[in-house]
Structure 1
Amino acid sequence: MKRLLPAVALIGLGLVAACSNPVPEGESALDISGAYIVMPAGGQGIASGGLVVKVRGTDEMLTGVTTDAADSVELHTMAMDNGVMRMRQVESFPVTEKAPLVLERGGNHLMLFGFDKSLAVGDSADLVLTFSDGQGKEQMMVTKAEIIGQAD
């Protein structure tokens, strides 16, 4: 688990382990795992991705994601409506101790537009995730996403 400092930009800063340490009042400790990006079919420029986010302490909202692997990243919901898949962009996803955030195929997920066609299955890309505690305090976290194939 990675402990986040109460700073706006944490890119490049060392993160302190906090697996068993108590989280100070009003702060949170985030753990991001299993990040992946599904390689687009047929050289298309739109990819999807997923990951799992767990939090200890203050509830957080995932409010944005950026990556050098695509021009833009959107947060999307997915639901079946009378046998038709409906995807919708949302502004954020909540993350609580009782309800970790799971982004995956067939459910809520990331959509990457303008995907970098020079990437291949087996490569990885950094995802920069922005979280907000809902009271103006933001924190950023970087994780590696593996580029996987359509059938993986």
Structure 2
Amino acid sequence: MNHDENERLLDWWKTMEEAKPVVRRLMSLMTELRLHPESSHSTGMILLYRAASEVSYGYAGVRGCIRRAFTNEYGEPLRVNMVRCHSFVHKFSADTKVLLKHVKANTAGPHAQQIIIKLEEVLMENDRFLIEIEEKAQAFFGKNTFMALNENIKQEE
């Protein structure tokens, strides 16, 4: 990588690091909701928790790939993995929002509803980070390359 690519990759890394507290809050609140007596048996709770976990795994995957990209491991397989992990975050963030609505409709307790409201806020904050992270990924790869890699991954699924 040349100097400009290194700078764009570092910028992407910094944004991923800024998003870490959001992911931590997401998982903390999700665990709290999953264990709360008012919501622990709600229909869809396990799927909701799993979807949120996949968001966390996707973020961790992208961060791991970016770290490895600064080494001599950088190449096409790593580029594909970076985009694949990024796509997991998007897909499972959408799934998390849909499943949260389902759990919200099946949860009556006021304390659990408060947790759900906090989760909705965290997911909105996550959406803002996803836009910024995608911009950083496009800046690093180039928009057309990033979109082409995304399309190739979609076709593989």
Q: Fold-level match, TM-score > 0.5?
A: no
Q: If the TM-score is normalised by the length of the shorter chain, which range does it land in? A: under 0.3
Of Structure 1 and Structure 2, which has the larger fraction of its residues in strand? 1
Mark the structure with the bigger radius of gyration. Answer: 2
Of Structure 1 and Structure 2, which has the larger fraction of its residues in helix? 2
TM-score by length of 1: 0.24
TM-score by length of 2: 0.23
